[in-house]
Structure 1
Amino acid sequence: MQVVTPEEWDRVEAVEGVELGQLLAGESVSLQYFHIEPGADVPEHSHPHEQTGYVVDGTLTFVVDGEELVVGPGDAYDIPSEEPHAARNDGDAVVTGVELFTPPRRDPDWAE
């Protein structure tokens, strides 16, 4: 068993106002933390990993195929692998949450 405390998280400002942290990567899944400031945007991207997430605080707007999908505290979501998606924080509060990636996302682009 592996345990990682918040002090050990690898946190990176992936784009302005968007902090991501790779928490753990197991054999078949990885866990990531996100912290998105008001007004921040995650540009459209895709990856070979299925991405499942849970919003703890704040409200996040995803854009998928031109459609806006709003998720808030307690909402969960799933983005299929290779599906282009973007996100933005249109609210006044920080958005925080966690995401699972399968297969594991061991070396995400944003970590460089």
Structure 2
Amino acid sequence: MEPVPFDDAETYEPDAGWQRAALAGSDRFSFEWFEKPPGHSSPMHDHENEQVCLCLEGELTVRTEDESVTLEQYDSVWLEAWESHAVENTGDERAVGLDVFAPGRSFEFWTDREGDDDSEQTDGL
């Protein structure tokens, strides 16, 4: 067993007010808690991981190239590996969510891309 107390979790703040925390997980799956301020959106991006995005508080709109869905508290959406998407807080209050990735990943997905001129910077979905 490997507990991860929330206050001790590895954290990452890609943009002001957009915070992420790595919760318990493994190389087969990972959990990331996140908070987004009103109006904040991740860039359109994709990754090798399947992803489930669960809205815990507020409102999150998940966009793909073909459609969008707005999640309210406890709603979720599944994204296939390599499916381009963006996640935006479309509400007036902060939004809190939980991302589940399979296989698991670390924050390096975003931090390693920040200096790459050919890719978008930041996010977590």
Q: Deviations over 1:26-75 (max 9, x none)?
A: 14111111101101111100000000121110001111114221011010
Question: How far 1:85 moved relative to its partner?
Answer: 0.2
Name the structure 1 match of 2:100. 100
SS at match of 2:32: strand
Trace 1:62-77 onto structure 2 (pairs within 5 A): 62-77=62-77
Q: How many residues align?
A: 112
- Runs of 4+ in structure 1 over 4 Å off: none
> Which of the pair is proportionally richer in strand?
1
Question: How far 1:99 moved relative to its partner?
Answer: 1.4
TM-score (norm 2): 0.81
Calculate the aligned-residue CA RMSD, in Å: 1.6
Trace 1:54-65 onto structure 2 (pairs within 5 A): 54-65=54-65
- Could you tell me which runs of 5 or more consecutive residues in structure 1 were left unpaired when the two chains were aligned: none
Question: How far 1:23 moved relative to its partner?
Answer: 1.4
Trace 1:11-50 onto structure 2 (pairs within 5 A): 11-50=11-50
TM-score (norm 1): 0.89
Q: Distance in 2 between matches of 1:52 and 1:85?
A: 12
Question: How far 1:107 moved relative to its partner?
Answer: 4.5
Letter paired with 1:14: P
Percent of aligned positions that are identical: 27
Question: How far 1:111 moved relative to its partner?
Answer: 4.4
Name the structure 2 match of 1:9. 9
